[in-house]
Amino acid sequence: MARSLGRVFNGFQRLGSLSPMKAHLSQPSATSVAVRSTLVRSMGLALPSPFFSKPRDFSLPNSSWSSEMKRLYEHYNSQCEVETEAGEKQEGPWRRLPSYNRLLKYATGGVYLSKIIQSQARLFTRNIKETGAAFEYVLFVNSEEKKCVCIFQAGHLLEGPPGHVHGGAIATMIDTVTGTHATILSGPVMTANLNISYRSPIPLGSTVLLESTLDRKEGRKTFITCKVTSTDGSKVHTETTALFVSINIGHLLLGG
């Protein structure tokens, strides 16, 4: 078991030059900042080498995207890089998060998993090959405002009530967006609580916006709110409060 653990730790070390044994993230420290930025990178900002040679970035536009999805993508993407008065390009307020269907060569989730399961593990929201069939989404983060926005187009495989999106699929997207946001803000976390009020159904095939906002941080706890609305903001689909608890990386690796 020690050898397996070592292999997984090595995987983490290959993600960046951090010492995993120091990776307890309850207290902010230089190491926690290093781990956080490594996680943020591994969540998509720059997927490092132990992965595929050319991993697909699922957050880029594809032919299944509606005109509304593309319009909103352009709206936020155009604010990722702005031009100064002198005509120079510089980082804008928003940053697009690339998105891949796996994080690590050896997926975490416990050294007890078989190698086959580890190698075949895929991110829940990115495991359907047919574009447009399920979760089409892209996330943008605004570090200054501590906000995340997700443009989400719900495909036909996500049906719950006839013609509308399944509540579990909506919860999945909320968990994904707030979980990604909490990780960016606080490093490795687990969802401890999601409290979702479903206000109005989401038509299948429609594009909606998820807006995730930091409420507050208290010790190991990161509280986030998230609203799902129509793209013009006129209709509220869900309102959520979420609690994420910072964890020791060993908690995930050992399945504890």
Ligand X SMILES: CCCCCCCCCC(=O)SCCNC(=O)CCNC(=O)[C@H](O)C(C)(C)COP(=O)(O)OP(=O)(O)OC[C@H]1O[C@@H](n2cnc3c(N)ncnc32)[C@H](O)[C@@H]1OP(=O)(O)O
User: Which residue in the shown chain puts its C-beta closest to ligand X?
Assistant: 179
Closer Cβ to ligand X, 73 or 135, answer by number: 135
> Which lies closer to ligand X via its Cβ, residue 72 or residue 150?
150
Interacting residue ranges for ligand X, rule: CB under 6 A: 43, 123, 175-176, 179-180, 190-193, 219-221, 243, 245, 247
Rounded to the nearest whole angstrom, what is the least distance from the CB of residue 219 to ligand X in the complex? 6
Residue whose CB is less far from ligand X, 164 or 210: 210
Give the whole-angstrom CA distance, residue 1 versus residue 174: 35
**Of the two residues 155 and 188, which places its CB atom closer to ligand X in the complex?**
188
Exactly one of 57, 175, 215, 232 is catalytic; name it.
Answer: 175
Q: How far is CA 87 from the centre of its chain?
A: 33
From the CB of 87, what's the least distance to ligand X, in Å? 35
Minimum Å gap between C-beta 251 and ligand X is 6
Q: Which residues contact 140 (CB under 8 A, 6 or more apart)?
A: 76, 77, 80, 94, 95, 96, 97, 148, 149, 150
Exposure string over 66-102, b if 16+ CB within 10 A, otherwise e? eebbbebbeebbebeeeeeeeeeeeeeebbbbbbbbb
57 is catalytic: no
C-beta of 197: minimal distance to ligand X in Å? Answer: 17
210's CB contacts (< 8 A; 6+ apart) are 148, 149, 150, 152, 173, 174, 177, 226, 227, 228
Q: Which residues are catalytic?
A: 175
